[in-house]
Amino acid sequence: MTAKKALVTGGAGFIGSHIVEGLLGRGLEVVVVDNLSTGRKDQVAVDARLLEMDIRDAGIAKVFAQHRPDVVFHAAAQASVVVSSEDPLVDAESNIMGSLNLLQACREHGIERFIYCSTGGALYGDPERLPCDEQHPIHPTSPYGVSKATVELYLHSFSILCGLNYTVLRYGNVYGPRQDPFGEAGVIAIFSQRMLRGEGVTIFGDGLQERDFVYVSDVVEANLQAIGQDENGVYNIGTGRGANVNGLFERLTRLTDSPLEPHYEPARKGEVYKVYLDVARARAGLEWEAKVGLDEGLALTVDSFR
């Protein structure tokens, strides 16, 4: 690892703030760019420099010129499948146009590596096979998945145009302390907080839909491993196993001592029914694999909300 300074977009948010702490722990200087639309100042480590700015802002180029980062971690995003389905323009403006603004700045300032927080949960669509490996066809069922896939294509293009080195990390459903209810694994944050308040929860669909839930500390480790890569790479970051929503509810019921039964509503449009990820490539190329099991991760998450 040769990088000494990192820029983290979305570094005041759930995943981004944990990445910031991981980078500081490895001795890097960290600059955070976040518009605080969903992130919070109190989640940014005190040793990081926070710049309150949208990634679509023309001033991004000045940030690169002033702070001269070696590596960029792009975690800022409109991360709700539901929001993207209701307003795809808002999703595209943030996730596509904002990312392009960053890539232009990288092109102008010679960034060593661009590490992109993508999605494995929404990218592949309804899977043809499980677990999904990185060669699985990309057929997203939501505008959110489309926007993430589009930026991956732009990264490939920029690598040809200007030699930008990149790593794409296709996350499963990331959960853990500080999790917000807006991302792909928001169900855990919503269920945990409502159960701890003695409130009931709603399950959309039959509850048998499966996701690959991966704990946030494992995701941070994948990001850190990506810094020292020599080549461009695309990696699934998950556990390789699916867990269904009914099972999550039962686990969280035990952890919170909630006596309430769930309420069921119709499934929401744009959401995949079952998806989990093949992580063999990350094991080989990043020397990475998830270490935190679901029961341990849920207990840590509930304790943090409690």
pLDDT-wise least confident of 4-13, 68-77, 118-127, 179-188: 179-188
* 183 pLDDT above the threshold of 70: no
**At residue 285, does pLDDT exceed 60?**
yes
Amino acid making up residue 172: G
* pLDDT mean over 259-275: 90
What confidence score (pLDDT) does residue 3 get?
Answer: 74
pLDDT beyond 70 at 139: yes
- Cβ-proximal residues to 299 (8 Å cutoff; 6+ apart), any chain: 255
| Catalytic machinery residues | 144
Q: Where are the alpha helices (DSSP H) in the chain?
A: 14-25, 60-67, 81-86, 88-92, 98-109, 143-162, 186-196, 216-227, 245-256, 280-285, 294-305
pLDDT at 184 over 70: no
Identity of the residue numbered 96: I
Tell me what pLDDT residue 81 has: 86
pLDDT at 181: 73
Q: What is the C-alpha to C-alpha distance for residues 107 and 149, in angstroms, rounded to an integer?
A: 20
CA–CA gap between residue 53 and residue 33 (Å, rounded): 6
**Domain boundaries of the chain, sorted by first residue:** 5-172+215-238
**3-class DSSP state for residue 41?**
helix
Write out the two tokens for 107.
């092109």
The CATH architecture of the domain made up of 5-172+215-238 is: 3-Layer(aba) Sandwich (3.40)
Q: Say what the pLDDT of residue 70 is.
A: 96
As a whole number of angstroms, the distance between CA 75 and CA 23 comes to 14
Helices (H), 78-200: 81-86, 88-92, 98-109, 143-162, 186-196
Residue range 20-36: average pLDDT?
97
Q: Which residue has the tokens 């196993």?
A: 241
Start-to-end CA distance of the chain, whole Å, equals: 37
pLDDT tens across 188-204, in order? 999 999 999 999 999 99
User: What average pLDDT does range 3-11 have in this prediction?
Assistant: 95
pLDDT given for residue 150 in this prediction: 98
Mean pLDDT, range 41-52, rounded to an integer: 97
Tell whether pTM > 0.85: yes
| Confidence at residue 186, expressed as pLDDT on a 0 to 100 scale | 83
Residue holding tokens 């307003």? 87
The confidence score (pLDDT) of residue 272 equals: 86
Strand 263-265 relative to strand 202-204, pairing:
parallel
Site of tokens 């480590």: 45
Of 270 and 244, which is predicted with more confidence?
244
Average pLDDT, rounded, for the chain: 95
Q: Please state, in angstroms and rounded to a whole number, the distance separating the CA atoms of residues 119 and 114.
A: 16
